[in-house]
Amino acid sequence: MKFTLTPGQLSYSDLNILLDETTTLELNENCFEDIFASEKTVADILLENKTTYGINTGFGSLARTQINSDELETLQHSLVLSHAAGTGELLSDQAVRLILALKINSLARGFSGVRLQTIQALIKLFNKNIYPCIPSQGSVGASGDLAPLAHLSAILLGVGEARHQGNIISAKKALEIAEIESLSLAPKEGLALLNGTQVSTSLSLLGLMAAEKAFVAAIIAGALSVDAAFGSAKPFDARIQEVRGHVSQISAAKMFRDLLHGSEILIAHHACGKVQDPYSLRCQPQVMGACLAHWFFACETLMTEANAVSDNPLVFPEQNEIISGGNFHAEPVAMAADTLALCIAEIGSLSERRIALLIDPNFSGLPPYLVNHAGVNSGFMIAQVTAASLASENKSLAHPASVDSIPTSANQEDHVSMATFAGRRLLPMAENTIGIVAIELLASCQGIDFRRPLKTSPLLEKIHAEVRKHIPFYEKDRYFAPDILAAKHLIHSGILQKITEISLSKI
């Protein structure tokens, strides 16, 4: 499909469209006037021979160094090459695709002094699915994501490598495929391309999207675990949530009530005499509600940043001014990513505790380790150990990145955000949590099978049937890893969200 981008107006639902490689991008032509005005302002400043940071000066601690007019093109070219100093594994194609989209979105707002042809060159890379090779390490999240964005921009100069259809190709070949001539950068263009928070923001947004899948799957698995463990639905009563007042807790409790509505299992043990369930069952609205609230905070912050102009200096054509500020400082992104990391870790931590509860007959009333003939069979014993290891790993990764700062550029850039790492660790964390929840999904479905002939709710029976379509009942010990992989695939596929119609963007 063709996506018409109105700069500064991307929504969360647009992200999946942009990440689809069949999508091609075009600019809303209404933005052209602002782009041209911004470019003209830079030209006017040069004609007036005004000393302006990043246009006719050096960069960082070299800002006081005046650059001669005949060296301005060399200045921008050298900036890109010298700053392409990243290291580590390459960012994924999905990450680079989103980075390209966000960089185009920012530059096209018309506050960066970049020519339309330069923006169109980035669009051609996007539309041809050409992804510059960007090392994942080397940015401290201020002054913007300099090193990774330099690797992105170097392709336009015919330098570096790109990935296309899974193959790494030279910059020259990439430009040929995209039908782009190697660019000579105009004044300020190199700086505008390199400055900005698009790498940190894209990595964090990918983490945000993965966290939504983990959250929804954990709500579903948690509801199944309530029935599998003969738990009570009373803790999900709307009155309990309303007197506390947290909107997201109220929403989370309603999700559980909707999922468990009509359960035969709940009715069957209604008068069992059990007084209270362990916290991992009973306090799900409180914990998951808190995670939901902070997911929304992160979503709002990151989507604001996705639409932001975050390079420096900024061009204001109406006043014919170029002003140096600090929008490149990615502290909002870092803090949002840190908050999201806590949510991802807690979703997994709570899920792991429910797995431990289900395999323990003292709490669940189910066969030990959820298998017949325990002793000969070990059942879910080591699957729970795997979940525990993943939860522990996330606890270390959840340490806030934004509390760290190391001065750079001869102390000119004396406080930085570390947003790039804050965002980059989110996907591995989400993958860990999805692994934990996948194991709980298997365990809770196993528990439901042991409650037969009683049935859970109609909605959860659909989930159970979908799981059993791909993963059979664990009758006796078998090679376990493929079951976990299949359950993870169900979570990643979005089928669980489709069946239950739970979508965080619709709340």
Active site residues: 53
* Token pair belonging to 482: 């493929």
C-alpha–C-alpha distance, residues 15 and 22, integer Å = 13
Q: Does an H or E element contain 164, and which? A: strand 161-164
Number of H helices, E strands in the chain: 22, 9
* Token pair belonging to 372: 């017949």
Place of tokens 């660790």: 425
Q: Go through the chain and tell me how many residues it has.
A: 507
Q: Does an H or E element contain 334, and which? A: helix 331-359
C-alpha–C-alpha distance, residues 160 and 140, integer Å = 22
User: What phi and psi values does residue 377 have, to the nearest 5 degrees?
Assistant: -105, 140
Task: Write the CA distances from 333 to 105, 180, 294, 420, integer angstroms.
Answer: 17, 33, 13, 9
Residues whose CB falls within 8 Å of the CB of residue 208, separated by 6 or more in sequence, listed in order? 295, 298, 299, 302, 340, 426
C-alpha–C-alpha distance, residues 203 and 96, integer Å = 9
Among 272, 279, 273, smallest CA distance to 225 is for 279
DSSP state of 141: S
Residues whose CB falls within 8 Å of the CB of residue 300, separated by 6 or more in sequence, listed in order? none
Place of tokens 């299949």: 486
Burial call 29-44: b when 16+ CB within 10 Å, e when fewer? eebeebbebbbebbee
Place of tokens 């392709």: 155
Report the DSSP beta bridge partners of residue 167: 164
